[in-house]
Amino acid sequence: MATQQRRRSRFSVVNFAVIYLYTLLFDLLAAAPFLEPLLQHLPQPQDLVDDTYQPISDRAPLPGASHAVADAQHSPGRAEPRGFGGEPHALRPRRASSGASSSTESSHGRPARSPASAASTPTGSSSVKSAGSISHGLKKKTLVLDLDETLIHSSPQGSYRAHHRIEVVIDKVACLYYVYKRPHVDYFLRKVSEWYTVAVFTASLAEYADPVIDLLDAQGKYISARFFRESCIPHDSSYAKNLAAVNPDLSQVVLVDNSPLSYFINPTNGIPIQPWINSDPKDEALLDLLPLLDALRFTDDVRSILSLRLV
C-alpha cells in the first residue's frame, strides 16, 4: 500500500505540474493575436480551477485506504506541539485586544468567538476530521501567506465597495483604512486550510494587520498563526521574512508573497503572485495557485519543486 501511495504522489505532482505549465503556455499564446483561431480549439485555463475543482483529497481513495483512515481515527493522539515545528515561539497566540477598532457598513465590532468555534480552531498539528480531509494520512505542511497586495488591498481613500473599514491608532495618531478582499480569497483560504497549516506573515504592524486578518477569518477556522513586522528582518529599506521563525523544517514550508524581496532569505520556499491593488475585479491569481499547492503537499521537500523556478 505504501508503494501505491508513493506512485500516486508522483503522478499527482506530474499531473498538476503539467496543468500549471499548460496555463503558462496558454497565456503566452494568448498574447499573440494571430493565434486566436488556435486558442478557440483549446480548453480555457480558468476552466481547470473553479468552484467545482476537485482536489486530490476529495477523489476516490485507493483500495485499502479506508482501513488506513479507520486506523488513524482510532490511534491515540499525540501531545500538541506549541508551534508548527515544536518550538515555543512558532505559534503566535491570538491577541485578546489591539489598538485598532474595526467596523462594517452593517454592524460595528467583530462577532465574539464562541467556545465551540474556539475549540475547533486548527493548531500546529493536523487532526483527522473525515476521510476527505486527511490527505491520505499525510502530515500537513505549512503554508505562509502574505497579507497586503496578496490577500487584500487597503487604502486611506475608500469607496462604497470596500469590504471593511479599520481605524488604526499608532502613537496616538488615528488612521482610517478601507480594506478590499482579493477576488476568491474566501474560497482560497477555505480550500488551502484543508491541505496545510496556514499562517499569515506580514511586514505590517500588528495594530493594523490583526483586525484585517479577523476580517478574513472571523471564526478562526482557517488561519492558525500570525506573524507581524516584529518577526521580520530589515533589509534594504524593506523587510524580509525568515521562514524558520514559522517552521524550522524548511522542507515543509511554502510562502506565497507578491514581493520576492520578502523571501530572499529562503528563495526556494517562495511562490510569487501578482500584486493586487483592487484594479481587477475578475482577478483569478489565487485560483491559479491551487493546482500547484495541491501537488506540493505530496512532495517530501517542497524546495525540490520550487527551486526549478517554474512559477
Q: Quick one: pLDDT at residue 14?
A: 62
Q: Quick one: pLDDT at residue 160?
A: 65
Catalogue all structural domains in the chain, each as residue range(s) with its CATH number: 2-93+121-151+183-306 (3.40.50.1000)
Flag whether pLDDT at 56 surpasses 80.
no
Average pLDDT, integer, range 296-310: 90
Average pLDDT, integer, range 209-214: 94
Instruction: Judge contact between 255 and 269, C-beta under 8 A.
Output: yes
Q: Quick one: pLDDT at residue 63?
A: 47
What does the pLDDT look like over 247-300, one tens digit per residue? 999 999 999 999 999 998 999 999 999 999 988 889 999 999 999 999 999 999
- Which triple of cell numbers denotes residue 283? 482577478
Q: How far apart are CA 140 and CA 197, in angstroms?
A: 6
Q: Is 47 a catalytic residue?
A: no
Q: Which of 36-40, 109-113, 163-167, 182-186 has the lowest mean pLDDT?
A: 109-113
Instruction: Judge contact between 241 and 265, C-beta under 8 A.
Output: yes
Radius of gyration (Cα) for the chain, nearest Å? 20
Q: Quick one: pLDDT at residue 137?
A: 60
- Which triple of cell numbers denotes residue 117? 468555534
A 10 A CB-CB count for 1 gives 11
Q: For residue 232, what pLDDT band results from cuts at 50, 70 and 90? A: very high
Q: For residue 163, what pLDDT band results from cuts at 50, 70 and 90? A: confident
Q: Quick one: pLDDT at residue 168?
A: 83
Flag whether pLDDT at 102 surpasses 50.
no
Q: For residue 15, what pLDDT band results from cuts at 50, 70 and 90? A: low
Q: Which of 21-25, 60-64, 72-76, 269-273 has the lowest mean pLDDT?
A: 72-76
Q: Is 146 a catalytic residue?
A: yes
Choose, from 58, 148, 280, 300, the residue flagged as catalytic: 148
Pick the more confident residue, 54 or 200: 200
- Which triple of cell numbers denotes residue 241? 521574512
Choose, from 71, 146, 257, 301, the residue flagged as catalytic: 146
Which stretch, 20-24, 159-163, 188-192, has highest mean pLDDT? 188-192
Percent of the chain with pLDDT over 90: 42
Q: Quick one: pLDDT at residue 173?
A: 84
